[in-house]
Amino acid sequence: MTLTGKQKRELRAQAHKLKPVVSIGNNGLTDPVLVEIDKALYDHELIKVKIYGGDKEYREQILQEICEKQDAHHVQSIGHILVLYRESDKEL
């Protein structure tokens, strides 16, 4: 599933008030960080991730890795903040 422009716009509006729930430090994208991202996406569907350090290429690489490994959609990137979305399969 790919997100349409309208869906991304709505998700960006919802993400505006969110604070980053996962931080990626100097150790990069480790297995424990991936587990935390997976839990956060399962619980919240829409999350912000903050990346400390690195240049734009490094942040792009981290973003691609997260999206591939977590089956998440990239909604927005602003500076060191990534907004990710994955529809939860949990029952209401």
Mean pLDDT of 11-16: 96
DSSP-based three-state secondary structure for 13: helix
pLDDT of residue 91: 61
Q: What is the mean pLDDT of the chain?
A: 93
Mean pLDDT of 76-87: 96
Mean pLDDT of 38-48: 96
Rounded to two decimals, what is the model's pTM?
0.90
- Residue 33 tokens read as 């960080």
Domains of the chain: which residue ranges? 5-85
Q: Using the predicted structure, report yes or no on whether residue 92 has a pLDDT greater than 70.
A: no
pLDDT of residue 22: 96
Whether 82 contacts 66, CB under 8 Å: yes
pLDDT of residue 89: 77
DSSP H or E segment with residue 31: helix 31-44
CATH architecture of the domain 5-85 equals 2-Layer Sandwich (3.30)
